[in-house]
Amino acid sequence: MQRVWVVVLSVWAMLAIVAVLAWSPRPAAPLPAGSAQTVVVRGRGGKQRLVVVKAPAHATTATSAAVH
Amino acid sequence: MSVLHRTEWRAVGTTCAAAVTAHSNDERGAMRALGAAQEEVAACERELSRFDPASDLSRLNAAGGRWTPVGPRLLEALGLALRAREESAGRFDPTVLPALVAAGYDRSFELLEEREARWADDWRAGTAIELDPRNGRARLEAGSSVDLGGIGKGYAAGRALDSMLASSPALAGGIVDLGGDIAVRGESPEGGPWLVAVADPRRTGETLAVLALDGGGIATSGRDARRFGPARSLHHLIDPETGESALAGPLTVTVVAPDAAAAEVHATTLAIAGLGEAEAHVSATPRISAVYVPQIGPAVPLGRLPLVTERLVVRAA
């Protein structure tokens, strides 16, 4: 009988985890395959440096002119 | 199979680009769409440019307070600008043109000459703009004039995107970029969202972040470019409270919003805001987020940015 309860509780725990994951907030957009990657580099004084090494963007922002 | 069709051209005083995601056998539809985008940008420029003496805006500015017939694009853009002025409590103001002209920004940026700045003594903010859409006309308060630089390119990008996708409904998505004011919708050729890199204003060619969008607009404003006057000491961001180049504000700010016109309005507003004021503005404004690059110090993310990378790029000091 104890084994049955263990199985039932395990199933419920698994369902709870699946439900939590399903309801968690998702990122605004999915990460496309082969998009930007980052590498962490140690800078001077041991400071962390995060660098985008590949960013195949379709457009790049620039400062908007006040007038055209 | 989806492929990218892209075109680039000069208009509205900058480099423009448009791209669509099309099926590989729909080249004709893609070309038609890209043509529609260029035509719409040209139509917007004919109505909204203050450097074309024949444009609807130039005629309205020169009308001396009389009712003037104007096109539907100018009427709509003026309506959006007026609403933005009201919602920002005057921090965004399309009637700063007299102050901008007094400072020396009286012609297209490429033609500016170095001369001493003169701030407008009798200039005041918030002058009246009356719209009569039913009869297709508008009227400015006598002595006032309008500059749509803080909204015009974003507005045109949004309209060009609409025209582009409406001309060829089979297209899966598109992007229109008018010198950094960007409108996007639908899928990129890779099947996911469109990717927009946020340029690092301090390091040419490097990026601070990559954003992923399947709809909406992005715009950047700041004092890193378009400087003019003696020793390039002036910039185009006029504080409506003083009528002079704003002292407070970031080096640049990039805003993501539901559409490109809104993105440009908020970018213009945040470009004269200190960091605390910018944080409060983004918190109080649903559905916008921003990358705020202070004049000194690292970039600060505001709101929920659709970042591809998990965080902004930070570099060792």
C-alpha pair distances (Å), B96 with each of B100, B155, B260: 6, 19, 21
Is B249 a residue whose pLDDT tops 80?
yes
- Which chain B residue's Cα is nearest to A66? B149
* ipTM of model: 0.75
Q: B278 with B302: CB under 8 angstroms?
A: yes
Percent of chain B with pLDDT over 90: 59
Is B174 a residue whose pLDDT tops 80?
yes
Dihedral class, residue B257 (left if φ above 0, else alpha if ψ from -120 to 50, else beta)? beta
Q: Residue B230: which pLDDT band, with cuts at 50, 70 and 90?
A: low
Closest-CA distance of chain A to residue B74, Å:
14
Across the interface, whether the CB atoms of B175 and A59 are under 8 A apart is answered yes
Six token digits for residue B295? 């004049």
| Interacting residues of B225 by C-beta distance below 8 A, sequence separation 6+ | A62, A63, A65
Is B114 a residue whose pLDDT tops 70?
no
The pLDDT tens digits for A16-66 are: 888 877 766 444 333 343 444 444 444 456 555 545 445 578 888 888 654
Q: Residue B317: which pLDDT band, with cuts at 50, 70 and 90?
A: very low
Across the interface, whether the CB atoms of B181 and A64 are under 8 A apart is answered yes
As a whole number of angstroms, the distance between CA B81 and CA B78 comes to: 5
Of the two residues A34 and B103, the one the predictor is more confident about is B103
Lookup result for tokens 């020793």: B231
Number of Cβ within a 10 Å radius of residue B159: 22
The amino acid occupying position A11 is V
Mean pLDDT score, B109-123: 57
Closest-CA distance of chain B to residue A43, Å:
6
At B224 the pLDDT is 60
Q: Residue B152: which pLDDT band, with cuts at 50, 70 and 90?
A: very high
Q: What residues of B are in contact with residue A56 (Cβ under 8 Å)?
A: 195
Across the interface, whether the CB atoms of A65 and B199 are under 8 A apart is answered no
Mean pLDDT score, B280-306: 93
Q: Provide the angle, in degrees to the nearest 10, between the axes of the packed helices B260-270 and B152-167.
A: 160
As a whole number of angstroms, the distance between CA B65 and CA A30 comes to: 52
The residues facing B197 across adjacent strands are A60, B210
Q: B267 with A64: CB under 8 angstroms?
A: yes
The pLDDT tens digits for B253-267 are: 999 999 999 999 999
As a whole number of angstroms, the distance between CA B214 and CA B173 comes to: 8
Confirm or reject contact between B40 and chain A (CB < 8 A): no
Percent of chain B with pLDDT over 70: 81
Report the SS3 class of residue A26. Answer: coil
Across the interface, whether the CB atoms of B313 and A62 are under 8 A apart is answered no
pTM, rounded to two decimals: 0.78
The pLDDT tens digits for B43-78 are: 999 999 988 999 999 999 999 899 999 999 999 999
Dihedral class, residue B104 (left if φ above 0, else alpha if ψ from -120 to 50, else beta)? left
Strands B194-199 and A59-60: parallel
Task: Give chain B's mean pLDDT.
Answer: 86
Report the SS3 class of residue B235. Answer: strand
At B274 the pLDDT is 92
| Interacting residues of B134 by C-beta distance below 8 A, sequence separation 6+ | none
Is B127 a residue whose pLDDT tops 60?
yes
